[in-house]
């Protein structure tokens, strides 16, 4: 059975992994006949957001501990992840990808990626194993794959501009499809950058994951 490594960034759209995207992705992996294996950095979140009010909360939470909620405890520290042991990689979105896995939400095109996340993603790239990036997580693509890497982050002009400034080639894509950079075995889909419902997000995620597992 093909094994897909999934990198989570917490739990909750505003400060962690987008929960709908993460669950849809894990379900899609199983439907495609593969197994999923979750990982997250063992670090504090950038901040904690009250998802009811949108306000910042005066507390600290750990990314790995929060991500374990989504994975039902079946998760490991990303420091232990080695691309050699897996057939493909998947990163759901949510602001955690831009606040915890990287600082894209604050630094834009001048952002950096968490060292372990960068190491792992670059390892999958170097080994030419397929990787899928959902929603805002494609913001990491140019820093991992370098000049000319193709990807989509929906149709927000500022985000697309930042993607291009970092050296990527942004491609607008409908919510029910994905962008495939064949040269790099790299896939991306807008998910909740465009989706107005769970069903819309699922349409693109399902297609991307089917292709990801096929390539793995």
Active-site annotation, residues: 135
Q: 131 CB contacts (<8 Å, ≥6 apart)?
A: 88, 89, 90, 91, 121, 124, 125, 185, 186, 187, 212
Residue 212 to residue 216: CA distance in whole angstroms? 6
- Cα dihedral 139, 142, 144, 145, rounded to 10, equals 140
Tokens (6 digits) for 160: 């697309």
How many C-beta atoms lie closer than 10 Å to residue 11's C-beta? 25
Task: With beta carbons less than 8 A apart as the criterion, state whether 86 and 127 touch.
Answer: no
């Amino acid at each position: 059975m093909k094994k897909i490594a999934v990198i989570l960034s917490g739990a909750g759209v505003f400060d962690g992994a987008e929960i709908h995207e993460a669950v849809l992705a894990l379900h899609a992996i199983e439907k495609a006949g593969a197994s999923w294996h979750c990982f997250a950095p063992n670090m504090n979140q950038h901040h904690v957001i009250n998802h009811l009010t949108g306000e910042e909360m005066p507390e600290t939470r750990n990314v790995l501990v929060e991500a374990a909620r989504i994975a039902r405890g079946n998760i490991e520290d990303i420091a232990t992840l080695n691309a050699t042991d897996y057939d493909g990689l998947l990163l759901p979105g949510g602001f955690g990808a831009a606040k915890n896995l990287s600082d894209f939400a604050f630094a834009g095109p001048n952002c950096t990626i968490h060292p372990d996340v960068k190491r792992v993603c670059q390892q999958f790239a170097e080994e030419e194993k397929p990787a899928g990036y959902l929603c805002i997580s494609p913001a990491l693509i140019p820093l991992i794959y370098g000049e000319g890497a193709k990807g989509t982050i929906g149709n927000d002009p500022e985000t697309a501009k930042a993607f291009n400034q970092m050296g990527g080639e942004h491609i607008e894509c409908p919510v029910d499809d994905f962008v495939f950079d064949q040269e790099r075995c790299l896939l991306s889909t807008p998910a909740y950058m465009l989706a107005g419902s769970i069903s819309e997000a699922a349409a693109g995620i399902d297609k991307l994951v089917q292709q990801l597992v096929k390539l793995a």
